[in-house]
Structure 1
């Protein structure tokens, strides 16, 4: 008799459509009359069935006529004296338990009760390598002698596995073997199993145990799994990635579906929600879907508002990019009113994640914006590389004001001297030129109003005004008043023009005391940006409390905006309602001048 172990030598082959699905269904649903007679269906390594003989629970062979015509299946090479242990005779599963004659269970890593599944790290004793095993356990509701519901559930899940045998993608573990119900050597409480290659790395809970993952690393991790879901959906398959313990993170930071056999009711929409849940967890350390799954995986359940709505990642972790925050909430079905921003397909999510990853690669030469997560040891830019922020240094600002005042006095002296020389040239007067000291003022004739002159407004502070977000690049907004137009502040790059995602964003400028502002100058390289100039009663006023003074479209370079200096104001808001090229605006410098009588 050929040894059954020898038939399983070598690597277990992926089921690339080589198993007939009708035969698989027959194997998954044995003849009920044979089960009623106490017989046990078995398969030989090639899947052949011998209908001429059957084996009872006490190991005796019997013919079909011995039990009233009921038939059962045993391996064709079985001897009459050979004892074949039935599935009901096997011992329950535990660490160290054998699973058929090839696999040995080593460590239980999780479970999915809704699918009746357990996840194990096991060992392939033939090839001496670790494998990932998904066991289909008999549910308490299935614990009956005939077990119709459990067999039907397991049969549907196993048939799904057979259909997905030809699916291979770097974002999903490769299917190696399928153990159908009734396979020789399965424990009594196991209805079937799927064996896949082992994914090295860490579980999702272990990945976020030390803190949230950097936003760009989270996007790159989910991109791999989103690509796998996209290809699976195109082939009419689903992954079942909406359970946190089915996913593992590789050492190079890729999220991979490690444990197969999803529950029968899972759909492509569940995969999209699972991708959103994975991104949410990497950004916030909280699982947003099932509370029971979160507790079982060792994760914290996501916070919700009193109305039941999820709190967005940006609310829990300031610094999360707007595009990732919007994408995450859209995939979880938490889009805005009217469904704006809802993500319906894995392909759409993969495309947007790829855009975020590509944009990050383009900006790799610049230090990243701090998003609340510490730098990893292999990051190019470390937290220690960040230079100390001296933009709010009082001594530096004082020196800057003194320098500007000296420069202004020098300009006035030069202009006065040039004016006198030009007047003497065209007036023909032989009177020697007289230089007027800068502090001196010409006498004002009676009845004549003094001429108004402009002086720069000193001690201007700025902050990002963003009622609908967390403030784009708030750490760099002081660059617009540092006196250097080459250092700039910019908005985030948006996927759509305002007001698709938000009504606008602005810069609130505040003065030490109310000033009669007569002119505003904006230096910008984003021609076409639309700015509303508004006055505000306080620095933290809402948009509705501000008053519109003028609307201007910025030109390349400096744009001068004349203002009414009749009413002094202490706060001026530059409210951007139209973004520049590429749905992004950049401002290098803003300055104010006040009327001086």
Structure 2
């Protein structure tokens, strides 16, 4: 079977039905698993290929990786001079090149696609597996919005790249992911090697294949900022593309890239992408962010770029279209990837044996300390009971100067009032403060959350007084308390009850100022149809960046 053809059956089981791609001696086939009567994909290549054994070994290891973003490998083998890898078939899916055939993607859909792909490659890297040949043809989106990365482990191995050091391999995949982000935003490919179906961002039509050493080929092929090619490019994505592709900085691993891109929508983002700058009308062009450059740690620092045009709301610009109504599915990007354990190497590459032993030792010491504390705690309970002494702490509360404005950490009382709808409240901005995530604040699940955009200061810069959530109770009702579950660091939140969709001229029933967690605003009961959760000071998110995260808002009579 050295030359496979339609109708052949690999291992007497996988019938090849049609050839879908050819690259040298490597072929990709649509096939049918006769045993389980299901569609599969088969990749065949000569068993005497110098890289065949490495590719089979990588495929076997990849079969043990469980991640929804990666193709599941079903079978690996060699028969009659032909080696093969059989994977699951992705139905009703289009590659990123297909999606970009007529127009660019909405910026937040580009963020979502690359963030999901980075998450899958982060999982693979933890098992020592990488792609190393990533192009927009290898990222596919199913009809339901699911993102799948094709060719992890096998493509690079077949190209003879299986011996690349892990740190270099992770950086290569990260740079290729950012190139894909650039292509999704602009419709142009920024790599030195041509990608069929996409025009070059640099005018170059040739070059080496993807997977070259760290950035050496990119230095001679400078790429323009995405915002100079198309409109509606968020400033953080613009900075990221320049930082990685021009200055050879930025994230070094797919995991770090996923952290920078988060949070992204849990569902497919509908809408239109940016327009070509040369064709955009004056109004849209004026709203587009100006190009800028800066180090990864300076994405949001304008001190050394006085000529840069600021975003209207001092944060990302979004072009998000209508989303499905049900946003209750948890978005894994909202929980940041955990940093390495103490003593482990930085980044997200797999730890060596010495570091793994150190981490286990730290865990053992912590377990022993926990047991000691537990023993002394139980002994203390016994002695307290014997003496008959009791100690009671009352919940702390803070009362403002206004008699109707009281903040307390006690559990809310009264009859629950279920809002009929919720939206973000952004009167000083564009009216959309992650509106697609607002439903998560009233879905009854503390594991999902609404988040604000990311800002440079805790007071939103110079163009906003605050942002928040607007809950519609359906009709005018008496509200006595509102419970808010804040995730993260301390923040300041005022709560208003009104009959209009505005806080102008109103007085808050209470203010949260004492930190995070589930807290309750309680004051003199007021009657109104709308409850507005108004954030005036954001919590610190990371370094010099700020944002709020609210898991649940509950209203009580």
* Structure with more contact order per residue of length (Cα contacts < 8 Å, sep ≥ 6): 2
Bigger CA radius of gyration: 1
**Which structure has the highest helix share of the two?**
1
* TM-score, length basis structure 2: 0.45
* TM-score, length basis structure 1: 0.42
